[in-house]
Chains A and B, each alone.
Chain A
């Protein structure tokens, strides 16, 4: 038997619960780094699995099922949870045990879910999570009575402090040893009556526990008075964004310099040790100048995602959606578009896939069409490179970092143009209608560093994997195209001008000359279609090859600062705000809209906007700098 099959014989435990019950924190505590994030087959719902050992050293496979408010499958997330529990999702096994996670401070809502889960015939353990928070609100829950009332074992846990996990592991052992899974019993259709019935049942249980009327005023309410304030709220939102982008530049500086010098010393080392050959050129000009120049932007990516994860963990993001709902409504978008658009800041592909949660087809299409205008993390290296080269690291207005301000401006530029496009679409092709919002604003939490660290680690892995695979491969091909054929006898100028890439670049630069791009940029735009940050690597390789054989000071920043005009740099920045330089995004749009129509429209309108905006920027900057 192969190794792959052994792991499928392990008992399967599923974590189920309402969103915001601390389920993911519990998952992290149980599995640590032994976890894997993927998608369920055929749907875009995130699938998390991990492993842990119980007290009796039994290895267990743990699923973190998507959070659900109910069990009647209104969203794709809930559908997946329901199908897995019934053993009806192809390729997924039915769990042997459910750990039902409830927020002890919100039993009223969460216990209803537990009652629903009991109907599935799968043995269950109840994890009374956040019990420390409940205790602080003066809410003591008698676990013995609760266990009797529900007929299932109850364990008190505090996932963020790792308390009660030992008890939970013990109970899992016990229940797994005793109770087998029964066949899928018919699950009654859930109606308003079922909900009302369960609600009564919950009230009955809570009143026997003596915790029925505990609506303690939580700290969250106090915070919300300011954070959701009509005037202070938007100011706080703006300040948050401002701080994030300042930190991206100020904080990343020392780390980036360190990484840069490592990359440079590797390049110098290889250059000196290896004999003059094509292999040396491949390693130094292709691999290191190419992929290495992308890798040095890792600190920026880490800092950006650190803040995004902090905002996500703290519970602030849905509140931002709440405040922006009106604004988004005025251009014909709904608050539901907020989350897909927000994930587009990481990458447009998951953002576009997340639009499946938008039920209204018109809203969904609009969100898909503007998602690429959100500044994805792949643009960050491009922005950072050009800003570092052309925007002086001045402090303006008493200590505000100018570079960070320009970066914020580019992000805002993307958002504003997205709003503009949405507004135009509303005027022309799509009519407007109102939809329900029903968005939970979860209680604020102090972000748990452990969860942030795990989230960051996953981001780092994704970035480094990209650099090591697709970006590296493209750089090798680009190096090859930039090195052959070798220049004719007696040729003047760098060899790259005579190569295939050089010829293509020169041909393309005819098209791009009006917006100020030289042939080096034109070359870099082609591999940049595969992934935006590749353009940075491509510039690295192209300039390394054109610089001749003696210059290996890998640093791209001073090189482009010398050879580009400010107008060219600004034009390229603006180009990157709009240009649909990402094949995966277009492929995702084709998949999601079932045809070539919308990806083609997107391609044309975004390239059109990019060209026009860059043209204006180039000529305005040129006139302004007196060129």
Chain B
């Protein structure tokens, strides 16, 4: 039992890491797609909860892009959960 729980846990952790690496190294359009997919699946509330408040990398402008993306999603009504 514990053995299988271990396996599931590890697969989950490795999968999350893999997605994160793709997100971090990917181009802006890849980042957009991953973020949009994440928000689509889990809702904006969880996203804002997880989104780090700390300063992002100063030169990639990802933080700004995220803000714009959220604004767009809100306008298009995809993020209803946030009412």
Contacts and interface: CB of A to CB of B under 8 A. Distances in A.
A462 interface: yes
B21 A2 contact: no
Contacts of A277: 2-3, 6
Interface residues of B, number: 32
Choose among A458, A462, A472 the residue with the greatest number of B CB atoms under 10 Å from its CB: A462
B25 interface: yes
A347 B82 CA distance: 38
A44 B25 CA distance: 19
Contacts of A41: 61, 64, 68
Contacts of B17: 472-474, 476-477
Nearest to A465: B54
B21 A458 contact: no
A461 B27 contact: no
B68 A470 contact: no
Given A4-B70, A470-B21, A38 B10 contact: no
A530 interface: yes
B24 interface: yes
A583 interface: yes
Given A4-B70, A469-B24, A587-B27, A350 B59 contact: yes
A36 B57 CA distance: 11
B58 A462 contact: yes
Contact of A37 (B3, B6, B58): B58
Contacts of A353: 59
B56 interface: yes
B18 interface: yes
A1 to B, nearest CB: 10
A242 interface: no
A182 interface: no
A461 B13 contact: no
Nearest to B19: A473
B71 to A, nearest CB: 8
B59 A349 contact: yes
Nearest to B3: A277
Contacts of A282: 10, 13
3 closest A-B pairs by CB: A473-B17, A476-B17, A350-B59
23 contacts: A4-B70, A36-B55, A37-B58, A38-B58, A39-B58, A39-B59, A41-B61, A46-B58, A91-B64, A277-B2, A277-B6, A279-B9, A462-B55, A462-B57, A462-B58, A465-B52, A465-B55, A469-B20, A473-B24, A476-B14, A476-B17, A530-B25, A584-B60
Interface of A: 2, 4, 36-39, 41, 44, 46, 91, 277-279, 282, 347, 349-350, 353, 458, 461-462, 465-466, 469-470, 472-474, 476-477, 480, 530, 583-584, 587
Interface of B: 2-3, 6-7, 9-10, 13-14, 16-18, 20-21, 24-25, 27, 52, 54-61, 63-64, 67-68, 70, 74, 82
Given A279-B6, A349-B60, A477-B17, 19 more contacts: A37-B55, A38-B58, A41-B61, A41-B64, A41-B68, A91-B64, A277-B2, A278-B10, A347-B59, A461-B54, A470-B20, A470-B21, A470-B25, A473-B18, A476-B17, A477-B14, A477-B18, A477-B21, A587-B27
